[in-house]
Amino acid sequence: EDKVVQSPLSLVVHEGDTVTLNCSYEVTNFRSLLWYKQEKKAPTFLFMLTSSGIEKKSGRLSSILDKKELSSILNITATQTGDSAIYLCAVGGGYQKVTFGTGTKLQVIP
């Protein structure tokens, strides 16, 4: 059975801190790893990773995939209160199936 595990489950930090969120996976026929941010409702896309070792960046967020370790990290630098959300890691495996982790709930306090 495909599995995606995220850690930590939740995290409280102060504005300006840097955080690292972890995702590890075991899936059949890995296709890609995606990070999403979920605030009130629908997940919104952050990054898609398919190749090991290539960092993707968007502003203060960055992510990298390690296919040897079957894992990925999402970094957020200089956190802001608007970064408070649940961060979801999802892995595409099999033919079309996508398996989500339980998410990391990040709370950034002023």
In whole angstroms, the minimum distance from the beta carbon of 89 to other proteins comes to 10
41 binds other proteins (CB under 8 A): yes
Burial (CB < 10 A; 0-12, 13-18, 19+), residue 41, is exposed
Count of residues that interact with other proteins, criterion CB under 8 A: 24
Closest by CA position to 108, among listed 15, 35, 18 = 15
DSSP run (H or E) holding 91: strand 85-92
57 binds other proteins (CB under 8 A): no
**Cα separation, 106 vs 18, whole angstroms:** 12
Q: Which of residues 80-99 bind other proteins (CB under 8 A)?
A: 88, 90, 92, 94-99
Binding site for other proteins (CB under 8 A): 31-32, 34, 36, 41-45, 48, 50, 88, 90, 92, 94-103
